Amino acid sequence: MTPLLEVRNLSKFYGPRIGCADVGFELWPGEVLGIVGESGSGKSTLLSCLAGHLVPDTGSVVYDTRTDGPRDTLTMSEPERRMLSRTDWAYVHQNPRDGLRMNVSAGGNVGERLMAVGARHYGNIRATATDWLGRVEISDERIDDRPSAFSGGMQQRLQIARNLVTGPRLVFMDEPTGGLDVSVQARLLDLIRALVRDLGLSAVIVTHDLAVVRLLADRLMVMKSGHVVEEGLTDQVLDDPQHAYTQLLVSSVLHV
Ligand SMILES: Nc1ncnc2c1ncn2[C@@H]1O[C@H](COP(=O)(O)OP(=O)(O)OP(=O)(O)O)[C@@H](O)[C@H]1O
C-alpha cells in the first residue's frame, strides 16, 4: 500500500527562530494522526506547511493523488495545488470565521463548494447542502440563516460540512474544538469521530488537548521546540510515554 502522505525532512525557520525542524512521517489511508505539544512547539507551522499555506525551507510533502499517483505538493504548480485543496483536501480552522463566509447563508456556504467543483443544478445543490447540514446536526430550517446567527458550536459544525461536502480524502484540522465550551466540545468530538470513521477519512489534527487525540487519533506525534520528540500509537504514547517532555505533558493533564 502507498502512504497517502509522505513527509520528509520538513523544516521552516522564521529568521533565526525554528518553526519546525526535520519533521518526517507517513500517513496511511484512513489513518488519523494527532500532533500535540505546548504553545509555540511548532504544531501550526507544521500543519500550514503540510497544507500548502506556508512554504517550508526544506523537505518534501508527497501526496498520493487520485490521478497521477504520488506527487510532491511543494513543487506542484499553483493551479494544481489549488485543485487539490478544492477536491481532495479539506482544512478546518480553529476559528470558524476563518473557514466560513459569514455573510453567506449556511446553505450557500456548503453549496458554493459544490459549485467550485462543477455542480450547476440548483435543486441538487440545495438537496446536498440540506443533507450535509443534517449530517452535522443543523436543522434544515436554518439553511437560509447566516453563520453569524449561529452559536460557536454550530458554526464549527457548518465549517465541517462545508469542508466535507466535496468528498475529500484528507482533512487538516487546527484545534477543531478550541475555544468552545466543554459540553459543546464533547459533542463536536463525537461528531468528528463518527464522520471520520464513516467516510474513511485520513486526518492530521493539531491540538494541545490530549483528550482530543485520545478520542480521535490512531497515532500521535509529540512536538517540542519545533522538533518531533516522540511518536507512536496514541494509547501507547499516552499510557507509557518514553520522552521526559511527553511524561510531563501527560502528567500535567492527569494532575489537573
Ligand atoms: N509568523 C511568524 N513569525 C515569526 N515567528 C513565528 C511566526 N509564527 C510562528 N513563529 C514561531 O515559531 C515557533 C512555532 O510556532 P507555532 O505557532 O507553529 O507553534 P504552535 O505549537 O502552533 O503554538 P500555538 O499552539 O500557540 O498555536 C514559535 O517559536 C513561534 O514564536
pLDDT for 47-70, tens place per residue? 999 999 999 999 999 999 998 999
CATH number of the domain encompassing residue 239: 3.40.50.300
Same domain, 161 and 195: no
- Judge whether 95 lies within some domain: no
Q: What is the pLDDT of residue 183?
A: 85
- Judge whether 26 lies within some domain: yes
Q: What is the pLDDT of residue 253?
A: 60
Same domain, 80 and 112: no
Same domain, 78 and 192: yes
* ipTM > 0.85 for the complex: yes
Q: What is the pLDDT of residue 144?
A: 97
* Amino acid, res. 156: Q
- Judge whether 21 lies within some domain: yes
Separation of 43 CA from ligand 1 center, angstroms?
A: 8
- Judge whether 141 lies within some domain: yes
Q: What is the pLDDT of residue 176?
A: 92
Q: Give residue-wise pLDDT tens across range 146-162.
A: 999 999 999 999 999 99
Q: Single out the residue in 167, 184, 212 at which a domain terminates.
A: 167
CB of 122 sitting under 6 A from ligand 1: no
Same domain, 66 and 180: yes
Same domain, 17 and 81: yes
**DSSP for the chain?**
---SEEEEEEEEEETTEEEEEEEEEEE-TT-EEEEE-STTSSHHHHHHHHHTSS--SEEEEEEEETTTEEEETTSS-HHHHHHHHHHTEEEE-SSHHHHS-TTS-HHHHHHHHHHHTT---HHHHHHHHHHHHHHTT--GGGTTS-GGGS-HHHHHHHHHHHHHTT--SEEEEESTTTTS-HHHHHHHHHHHHHHHHHHT-EEEEE-S-HHHHHHH-SEEEEEETTEEEEEEEHHHHHHS--SHHHHHHHHHHHT-
Same domain, 63 and 124: no
Q: Give residue-wise pLDDT tens across range 75-125.
A: 999 999 988 988 899 999 999 999 999 999 999 999 999 999 889 999 999
Same domain, 133 and 179: no
Q: How far is CA 225 from the centre of its chain?
A: 21
Domain span including residue 13:
5-88+169-254
Same domain, 39 and 49: yes
Q: Single out the residue in 167, 199, 217 at which a domain terminates.
A: 167
Same domain, 151 and 180: no
**Percent of the chain at pLDDT above 70?**
98
Averaged pLDDT, 200-211: 94
**In 3D, which of 54, 3, 49 has the Cα closest to residue 22?**
49
- Judge whether 46 lies within some domain: yes
**DSSP for 67-133?**
TTEEEETTSS-HHHHHHHHHHTEEEE-SSHHHHS-TTS-HHHHHHHHHHHTT---HHHHHHHHHHHH
Cell of 205: 489534527
| Dist CA 19 CA 207 (whole Å) | 16
122: phi then psi, degrees, rounded to nearest 5: -55, -45
**This prediction's pTM:** 0.94
- Judge whether 97 lies within some domain: no
Q: Single out the residue in 167, 183, 203 at which a domain terminates.
A: 167
Same domain, 183 and 123: no
Same domain, 151 and 197: no
Tally of domains within the chain: 2
Pocket probe for ligand 1: among 12, 41, 50, 212, the residue whose CB has the most ligand atoms within 8 Å is: 41
Separation of 45 CA from ligand 1 center, angstroms?
A: 6
- Judge whether 96 lies within some domain: no
Same domain, 153 and 206: no
Please determine, for residue 256, whether its predicted confidence score (pLDDT) is greater than 50: no
